[in-house]
Amino acid sequence: MQGNGSRPRIVVTGVGVISPAGLNPNMLWSGLLAGESPAARITRFDPSDFKVQIACECNDFDPLAYMNRKEVRRFDRVIQFAVACTTQAVEHAGLEINAGNADRIGVIFGTAIGGLGTIQEGYETLYAKGPRRVSPLTGPMMLPDMSSGQIAINFGVRGPNHCIISACATGNAVLGEAAEVIRRGDADVMIAGSADAPMTPFALAAFHRTGAMSTRNDDPKHASRPFDAQRDGFVFGEGAGAMILETLEHARARGVKPLAEIAGYGSAADAYHISAPPEDGSGAVLSMQRALDNAGLRAADIDYVNAHGTSTLLNDVSETKAIKQVFGERAYRLPISSTKSMTGHMMGAAGTIEGVVCIKTMETGIIHPTINYEYPDPECDLDYVPNEPREAEVRAALSNAFGFGGHNATVIFKKIEDE
**CATH number, domain with residue 390:** 3.40.47.10
Rounded CA gap, 164 and 202, in Å? 23
Could you tell me if residue 3 is inside a domain?
no
Contact 354, 401 (CB under 8 A): yes
Domain assignment present for residue 192? The answer is yes
pLDDT at 5 over 70: no
Predicted pLDDT at 417: 79
Q: Decide if 127 contacts 59 (C-beta within 8 A).
A: no
Q: What is the pLDDT of residues 27-49, one digit of tens each?
A: 999 999 999 999 999 999 999 99
Residues 157 and 271 in one domain: no
Q: Which of 221, 254, 287 is the last residue of a domain?
A: 254
Chain mean position to CA 235: 15
Structurally, the chain folds into a number of domains equal to 2
pLDDT at 154 over 90: yes
Tell me the average pLDDT across 387-412: 97
Domain of 62, in residue numbers:
10-254
Q: Which of 92, 250, 345, 407 is catalytic?
A: 345
Helices (H) and strands (E) in the chain, counts: 13, 14
The whole-number pLDDT of residue 373 equals: 98
Helix (H) or strand (E) holding 40: strand 40-41
Average pLDDT over residues 123-129: 94
pTM, full prediction = 0.96
Give the confidence band of 378 by pLDDT, cuts at 50, 70, 90: very high
Q: What is the pLDDT of residues 267-286, one digit of tens each?
A: 999 999 998 999 899 999 99
In a shared domain, residues 195 and 73: yes
Q: Report yes or no on 2 lying in a domain.
A: no
Per-residue pLDDT reduced to its tens digit, 55-107:
999 999 999 999 999 999 999 999 999 999 999 999 999 999 999 999 999 99
Domain identity same for 173 and 34 = yes
Q: What's the one-letter identity of residue 158?
A: R
Same domain, 204 and 113: yes
**Greatest Cα-to-Cα distance within the chain, rounded to the nearest angstrom:** 64
Q: Is the pLDDT of residue 418 over 80?
A: no
Residue 394 lies in a domain: yes
Same domain, 96 and 201: yes
Distance, first Cα to last Cα, the chain: 27
pLDDT at 3: 46
168 is catalytic: yes
DSSP characters over 63-114: GGGTS-HHHHHHS-HHHHHHHHHHHHHHHHHT----TTTGGGEEEEEE-SS-
Q: Which of 58, 85, 163, 308 is catalytic?
A: 308
Give the DSSP H or E segment for 118: helix 116-129
Residue 123 CA: distances (Å) to CA of 29, 126, 140: 38, 5, 15
pLDDT score recorded for residue 7: 87
